[in-house]
Amino acid sequence: MMDDFKNEKRLHRRYAFQIVLQIREMLQALPSLVDIDVPEGKHFTVCGDVHGQFYDLVNIFQLNGLPSEDNPYLFNGDFVDRGSFSVEVILTLFAFKCMCPSAMYLARGNHESKSMNKIYGFEGEVRAKLNDKFVELFAEVFCCLPLAHVINGKVFVVHGGLFSVDGVKLSDIRAIDRFCEPPEEGLMCELLWSDPQPLPGRGPSKRGVGLSFGGDVTKRFLEENKLDLVLRSHEVKDEGYEVEHDGKLITVFSAPNYCDQVMFQLRGCSVTRTMDFLFLQLVTMPHPQVKPMAYANNFMGLFS
């Protein structure tokens, strides 16, 4: 399937239906906060936003190995939109999850939602490459994605960030009813949308949704939940990753040459039980001459 995708071929809708229906059943059975155990001596790779850049996803697997029980991955949200190969990305990730559930973990990002998909290209791409039925089916599956993961009881992995109030416990996140479109406020919204800031305290979000939170907020959340680190995505970084908040927060972004405009060097990380990190170097890969946002007709219409 991946070879066909690389050659710009499409998967028959029958098989796409089988993959998406199977992944829906698997995701529905998961909690909103998933615990991951990485045995001592084993490694675990966390990737940030991929945003429909299928050829860069293929490059990650070529550099770091295909997902397997001995080489597991967590893709930390924003699989789709902006890049024009989102269908290929999402079917590849879902297929690996179906083939070997312990090889692939998936978290929801702010772009796994109807409103974002309508504007930033995924909905139009799905209509073009599959059909209208898949638009609603993907939207339903996205509502089943877990909101966060905890690795070895120490690393909190979330797409966006932390909260507008102190005292949020992991049990509160487990209790979130996530089977809905993301609300505009509250814990679920903030998990998907928030960003760190250099100053202490909290401030308004530059995105207009969620909030900005300082190192003191990160420190208190970690201490209250007996965690060591927040690992998140959601933001473009010049080097592909950034360490902030006195080493207690790492952002990792996995879409090199994002939207064919920005050149990056570093983009993924391998997390071991001993909390050592290896940042996997990525360079942009050539892709067919289909521009980012090629299917975002509704978005482009806003400016016409």
Q: Which residue, 177, 129, 160, 138, is CA-closest to 33?
A: 177
User: Model-level pTM?
Assistant: 0.92
Distance CA 297, CA 244 (A): 37
Instruction: Determine how β-strand 33-36 pairs with β-strand 148-151.
Output: parallel
Question: Token digits for 185?
Answer: 């406020």
pLDDT confidence bin for 114, thresholds 50/70/90 = very high
The residue whose two tokens read 């800031």 is: 197
Q: By the 8 A CB rule, do 104 and 47 touch? A: no
Interaxial angle between packed helices 122-129 and 132-142, expressed in degrees from 0 to 180 and rounded to the nearest 10: 130
* CA neighbor of 90 nearest in space, from 174, 14, 2: 2
Could you report the per-residue pLDDT of 223-238, keeping only the tens digit for each? 999 999 999 999 988 7
Mean per-residue pLDDT, 96-100: 98
Q: Are 42 and 69 in contact (CB under 8 A)?
A: no
Angle among Cα 279, 281, 284 to the nearest 5 degrees reads: 140
Give the pLDDT mean for 288-298. Answer: 78
* pLDDT value of position 269: 43
For the chain, percent of residues with pLDDT exceeding 90: 77
pLDDT in tens, 245-258: 999 999 999 888 77
Within a 10 A sphere around the Cβ of 155, how many other Cβ atoms? 21
At position 167, the amino acid (one-letter code) is G
How many other CB atoms sit within 10 Å of the CB of residue 125? 27
pLDDT in tens, 165-183: 999 999 999 999 999 999 9
For the chain, the domains span 2-156+236-301
Q: Report, as residue numbers or ranges, the catalytic residues.
A: 111
Distance CA 160, CA 169 (A): 17
Radius of gyration of the chain (CA): 18
User: Taking a C-beta distance cutoff of 8 angstroms, is the pair 192, 109 a contact?
Assistant: yes
For every residue of 34-88, DSSP letters joined together read: EEE---TT-EEEEE---TT-HHHHHHHHHHH---BTTB-EEE-S--SSSSTTHHH
CATH number, domain 2-156+236-301: 3.60.21.10
Model pLDDT, residue 147:
98
Query: Could you tell me the sign of the dihedral formed by the alpha carbons of 135, 138, 144, 148, in that order?
Result: negative
DSSP assignment of 3-34: HHHHTT----HHHHHHHHHHHHHHHHTS-SEE
Q: In Å, how far are 80, 83, 123, 138 from 133, measured between CA atoms?
A: 18, 21, 11, 9
Residue 104 or 270, more confident:
104
